[in-house]
Amino acid sequence: MTPEPLDLDAIRARAEAATAGPWAAWLDQDGADHMHGLLMVGNAAAVIPDGESYVDGVDVNPIAHTYTPEDREFIAHAREDIPALLAKVERLRRDRDEWEVDSRGWRKEAVALAAEVGTLTRERDEWEAYEQALAAKLDAVRAVHAPQVPTPSRPWVTCSGCTNGGPYPCPTIRALDGDAS
């Protein structure tokens, strides 16, 4: 099941409509039975110092009553936590949107590079085939211009492809081997 997307505007409106913060967990100030074990959360400035019964000029009405210290702490921190989380979600969404825009360009570049790699691969394959064809032709020339075994009438090694009966290696083999003399 896909979770509903967060309605950040509605969450922000609720946070902004709530009592201004910061909030704090209030300690039981008077230990009276009238609270029936309820713990309070309220304006942080309204935490009444020991021995006092009010804080002059501060709203001392509680924001919430809870039964557990954990709930009290959760509610007390919500005033700062919710706006901080909203800001974080908005920043992450902006980052995501920027990355999405950037990634479109990267995807186009990746497609172009992939096409270029394909072209270069085909060209490499064509050059390798050309190189193999040249090597086969060189081998054929070398086979034609192979050394011929000496005979009693010709006691030196000659080239089988040259008709002049010259010594081996002949000028063709020397040229193939890089000897320009």
Summarised one tens digit per residue, pLDDT across range 100-121 is 888 888 888 888 999 999 999 9
pLDDT: is 139 or 21 the higher one?
A: 139
- Quick one: pLDDT at residue 33? 47
Between helix 8-17 and helix 69-144 the angle, nearest 10°, is: 150
pLDDT band at 126 (very low <50, low <70, confident <90, very high): very high
pLDDT over 50 at 148, yes or no: yes
The better pLDDT of the pair 86, 3 is held by: 86
- For the CA atoms of 35, 37, 38, 42, the dihedral, rounded to the nearest 10 degrees, stands at 80
- 7-11, 28-32, 60-64, 77-81: least confidently modelled range: 28-32
Q: From CA 126, how far away is CA 146, in angstroms rounded?
A: 30
Q: Are 64 and 41 in contact (CB under 8 A)?
A: yes
Can you give the residue ranges of every domain in the chain?
Answer: 8-116, 145-181
CA geometry: angle at 23 spanning 18 and 27, to 5°?
130
Q: What is the pLDDT of residue 38?
A: 72
Q: Are 52 and 23 in contact (CB under 8 A)?
A: no
DSSP string for residues in 85-124: HHHHHHHHHHHHHHHHHHHHHHHHHHHHHHHHHHHHHHHH
Q: Is the peptide bond before 22 cis (omega within 30 degrees of 0)?
A: yes
In this predicted model, what pLDDT tens digit does every residue of 54-111 receive, in sequence order? 666 666 677 788 878 888 888 888 989 999 999 999 999 999 988 888 888 888 888 8
Mean pLDDT of 138-165: 88
Q: Could you tell me the pLDDT band of residue 48, with boundaries at 50, 70 and 90?
A: low
